[in-house]
Structure 1
Amino acid sequence: MKSGLVTIKDIARELNISASTVSRALKNHPDISEETKRAVNELAQKLNYQPNAVALSLKQRRSHTIGVIIPEIVHYFFSSVISGIEDVAYDAGFNVIICQSNERYEREVANARTLLASRVDGVLVSVSKHTEDFQHLHNLQDNNIPLVFYDRIVPGLEADQVIIDDLDASYRATRHLIETGRKRIVHFAGPQKLLIGRQRKDGYVKALEEAGLEVDPSLIIEADSFEKARLAVMRLLNEKKKFDGVFATNDLTAIGAMQTIQKRGFKIPDEIAVVGFSDGRFSGITDPTLTSVDQHGYEMGTVATEMLLRRITSENSDYPYETRVLNADLIVRGSSVFL
């Protein structure tokens, strides 16, 4: 037998039967005898026969594959989302192609093209923090590929989406700091191009205003990484800026702030309290442990995938787009209160 992938014709040739008989035997067709079915399936297993996925997708007009565009897999939140996506997809008989934009617009465009060429049935998207032109996503929709956005959405682009109430979660996180007696709270903000970045800042501002505290623009700093937070804290301390609390847009930023604050001789939470966002795996092992907002990434992944599969498999997919808002919980630990 020739080398390479085994085909139905190869099995038919070995058993001296027709390719159509092999095809029907593999599908357990009632017209094929049990003896033939057994012979076909035993040889198929022996030869490690695999159906031609491309041919099946062309015939069925469905690839049973969904694509995922994710900003960064290294973040615990996004890896949790992937776990939820894969569990639901595989249980439903769908494969998953995961593409990482690495927070770059150009990579995201390339990801979309790859998924289109792969004939995926639908795509789950969380846009990069540098994406401002969304033509590549419109192009997917123009090719009848449904989209579901998770976490980071595109205002004005009609699609299903799964989010948390970032404004309310940030408001509650900042209010928690205020309730512990903090009056000068720094906000390390995410990119204001992203809706979640703006909403998390707005929640912070709302909590300060509601408490009658000054909103000092010099304490709102765009810093969404460990290194940016480290440099920002050093600058604030070098400039003798007084602050007694930090609310960071994600956990790695919060941890960068915590380590620098401690290296400069300040105690947490005695002198400066810190709250993060996403409740990743590191939040429970920092010293002190990090107070953080739990975004429930796994649940977001499962809900987003269920919405996408419903859109793919529904006989009538022309129903109104839906926005699902999940609850977010503030997990209080030692970085903001004495436990």
Structure 2
Amino acid sequence: MKQITIKDVAKKLKCSVSTVSRAFNDKYDIRTETRELILKTATEMGYRPNPIARKLIQQRSFNIGVVVPEFINSFFPEVIIGAQEVLHEQGYQVLIMQSNESSELELKNVQTLLNNMVDGILISLSSETDNMDFYLNAIKEKMPMVFFNRVVEGLPASKVLFDDYKWAFFATEHLIMQGYKDIVHLIGSKDLTLTKNRTKGFEDAHRKHKLSPGKSEVAGFSMNSGECFIEKRIEENSLPQAILASSDPCAIGVMKILKANGFNVPNDIAVMGFSESKLAEHVAPPLSSVEQPTYDMGRTAALLLLEQIKNKGLFVPQSIVLNGRLNIRESSMKL
């Protein structure tokens, strides 16, 4: 079967090849009715655009890279779903990579995407990442990049953030209102902006209620990190009254070890998660958690990136902060 070309469409309509090309590429200098007729005729003739030629003409790969720290929990897949919906609507393919919480692998992932000439990158940093030189250079070279969820202060790039200060404050205040005074805040990484904002919210909630600020301790975001933290505290016989965890997996790890050692949640120690994973309602006891708008985060980040690509690097970095919700369940309620 003969492959229908742009010349065949032009011949059928008795117009120039350049006119058909402008219609396919949605140029401004072609009448709407002419464009619609050309597209309708091309479809009827069975014309299929050559994707490689399209990329060469428009000097785009129509690929977007996404780099996330992990896929184990539902948070990042949900963000990706929101981003993909926006990007696919605009004709982009999404190349997804994960750093496994390794700064070294993260940089390799980004370099691979750059080598494959992606048009832009959406990225959430690993818990190890602290050197921003690589990203500063990429931004200076006008590589469109949007950072989401896990970011570092000082980067001249667009960011999509969660209001970590506000919701860490509310989560801490909930624990204080339940009567808990000795509260430990587990953090994932001391260098991330979200950690600094959550810590400030944690401390300000204590100040509001005229309590000495509890401790913030580096643990990590994983279930294993929660297990390791609480095992050490049990060995030291230094359990707090309550824990505000860095993530739901971390909180669930804490509860798992407490249960294995005969402790009751929340009677012996209360636990609050962060991120509202799908497991939160299904563990025993059900886990209180701060819900983050993962789907909206992905959509917002993708829209910011498309705007940056459209403006070819000429843009003013934006920081968009999203709101959340506190879901109170049995794990943090004093019985």
Give the TM bin, normalised by the shorter chain: 0.7 to 0.9
Equivalent in 250, 259, 262 of residue 262 of structure 1: 259
Which residue number corresponds to residue 123 of structure 2?
125
Partner of 2:278: 281
Q: Deviation above 4 Å: which 4+ runs of structure 1?
A: 22-34, 36-40
Structure 2: 5+ residue runs without aligned partners? 13-19, 25-33
Give the deviation of 1:267 after TM superposition: 1.7
**1:243-296 Cα shifts (integer Å, max 9, x gaps):** 221110100010011111122222222221110000011111111111001111
| Cα distance between partner residues in 1 of 2:213 and 2:38 | 79
Return the letter of the residue paired with 1:95.
Q
Tell me the residue number matched to 1:232.
229
Deviations 1:91-112 (A, max 9, x none): 2222211121121122222222
For the 8 Å contact 1:166–1:199, the answer to whether it is kept is yes
For the aligned residues, what is the CA RMSD?
Answer: 2.9
Are the aligned partners of 2:9 and 2:42 in contact in 1 as well (CA < 8 Å)?
no
3-state SS, counterpart of residue 280 of structure 2: helix
Q: Which residue of 2 aligns with 1:291?
A: 288
Give the secondary structure class of the aligned counterpart of 1:277. Answer: strand
What is aligned with 2:28?
A: none
CA contact (8 A) 2:292 2:325 kept: yes
SS in 2 for 1:309: helix
Q: 1:66 and 1:221 mapped to 2: Cα distance?
A: 33
Q: Residues 133-282 of structure 1: matches in 2 within 5 Å?
A: 133-217=131-215, 220-282=217-279
Q: TM-score, normalised on structure 1?
A: 0.83
Aligned length: 315
SS of structure 2 residue aligned to 1:152: coil
User: CA shift at 1:50, angstroms?
Assistant: 7.0
Unpaired segments of 5 or more residues in structure 1? 2-9, 13-18
Alignment of 1:9-88 (within 5 A): 11=3, 21-22=7-8, 41=46, 51-53=50-52, 55-88=53-86
Conservation of the 8 A alpha-carbon contact between 2:144 and 2:313 = no
Paired AA for residue 173 in structure 1: A
1: CA distance, partners of 2:123 / 2:112? 14
SS at match of 1:292: strand
Most deviating of 329-338 and 252-261: 329-338
Give yes or no for contact 1:120–1:145 (8 Å, CA) kept in 2.
Answer: no
- Which digits, 9 at most, give the CA deviation of each residue in 1:21-71, with x for residues without a partner? 25758978889999x968962xx7xxxx77243x32221122222211111
